[in-house]
Amino acid sequence: MARATTESRTRLSFRHRIEDRASAAVVGAAKLLPYERRVPAMGWFARTILGPLALNRRTRANLKHVYPDMPPAEIRRICRDVADNFGRSLIEINSGREFAERVTHLTPTGPGLMALERAHAEGRPVILVSAHFGNYDAWRANLSQRGFRVGGLYMPMTNPATNRRYVATIESIASPLFPRGAEGMADMIRFLKSGGMLGLLGDHYMANGELIDFLGKPARTATSAAKMAMKYKALLVPLYATRSPDGLSFTIEIEAPIPHTDPLTMTRALNDSASARVRAHPGQWFWLHRRWKRAEPDLRGDQRGDKSPSNSPTETA
């Protein structure tokens, strides 16, 4: 009901229809291929066509902000990898149940797995925090198939037609889902208090967030995950799905729960965790976001002209 209310407030314009049909055509054409071919094909499309047209500029700007002395050849390599992972993630998410079935056999590793199992047995709430890294829906699908109650918070798209298709697809991967904003908040809190595991992505720019270092640069970061963990006595657990060299499978790693101290210290730990993953695999993080917007003067001019893809599969956890 919350989703329908959100969509009813946004008028479906002619531009929305054209954008939706174009994206649906690309995804539909890719889905004619067998799964093992469609994923690398979409990686190629994003790497060679979409990247130069729409993705690489934002990646280059963010890389230069974080690594001002990075050699041009390395910047080009990371741009290619980021676009490739974007394309693969896009078609994986749009493959719905087929994608979910591909990741069910994966065995998560890391010290946090036992903590999740214990919390599940005890009915204790858990807040799972990841980043726009690898494919975050891989761990969401995997944990759901393992019997954990994993809910996800998502950002509704501005295009109502595309949003309807998008939500239906990610619901087929795992559910429940809660739209970001007041409409989904009440249901999300009830789910968490009932002992559910709530998945979030913690690397968004938040206008009213605290300035906390991310990759060594101050970035406006929400402390809400830590605040909820403390308020509802929930575990706060970082986790990631790293794409394997074959480009099709993933390694799911669940880190140890972050101790409850105070929201700022806990959020710093989350940012440090995500930063370590990005440093280890820079091509797997979505450098496409305006992560350092209004935090550093040298980015402001470029950020105002951001043209990030409107159909980016980057808002769900």
Q: Which of the four pLDDT bands, split at 50, 70 and 90, describes residue 299?
A: very low
Q: Which of the four pLDDT bands, split at 50, 70 and 90, describes residue 317?
A: low
Give Cα 281 distance to the centre of its chain: 15
Query: What is the model's pLDDT at position 178?
Result: 93
The domain in which residue 142 lies consists of: 2-304
Query: What is the model's pLDDT at position 38?
Result: 97
Residue 311 lies in a domain: no
Query: What is the model's pLDDT at position 5?
Result: 41
Task: Please tell me the total count of domains within the chain.
Answer: 1
* 198 vs 192: CA distance, rounded Å: 6
**What is the average pLDDT across 91-113?**
95
**What is the average pLDDT across 138-160?**
91
Pull the structure tokens for residue 247: 């480009």
Rounded to whole angstroms, what are the CA distances from 84 to 47, 50, 79, 215, 244?
5, 10, 8, 22, 13
Query: What is the model's pLDDT at position 295?
Result: 65
**What is the average pLDDT across 136-163?**
90
Rounded to whole angstroms, what are the CA distances from 30 to 42, 129, 210, 315?
7, 31, 41, 22
Residue 316 lies in a domain: no
Residue 297 lies in a domain: yes
Pull the structure tokens for residue 76: 């080009």
What does DSSP say about strands 210-214 and 235-243: parallel, antiparallel, or unpaired?
unpaired
Q: Across all residues in the chain, what is the average pLDDT?
A: 89
Among 122-126, 271-275, 308-312, whose mean pLDDT is lowest?
Answer: 308-312
Q: Which of the four pLDDT bands, split at 50, 70 and 90, describes residue 4?
A: very low
Type of residue numbered 113:
L
Q: Integer distance in angstroms from the first to the last C-alpha of the chain? A: 20
Residue 314 lies in a domain: no
Peptide bond between residue 176 and the one before it cis (omega within 30 degrees of 0) = yes
What does DSSP say about strands 235-243 and 250-254: parallel, antiparallel, or unpaired?
antiparallel
Q: Which pLDDT tens digit goes with each residue over 39-74?
A: 999 999 999 999 999 999 999 999 999 999 999 999
Q: Which pLDDT tens digit goes with each residue over 244-289?
A: 999 999 999 999 999 999 999 999 999 999 999 999 999 999 999 9
Q: Which pLDDT tens digit goes with each residue over 163-221?
A: 888 888 888 899 999 998 877 899 999 999 999 999 999 999 999 999 999 999 999 99
The three-state DSSP-derived secondary structure of 241-269 is EEECCCCCCEEEEECCCCCCCCHHHHHHH
Residue 310 lies in a domain: no
Residue 313 lies in a domain: no
Residue 257 lies in a domain: yes
Residue 315 lies in a domain: no
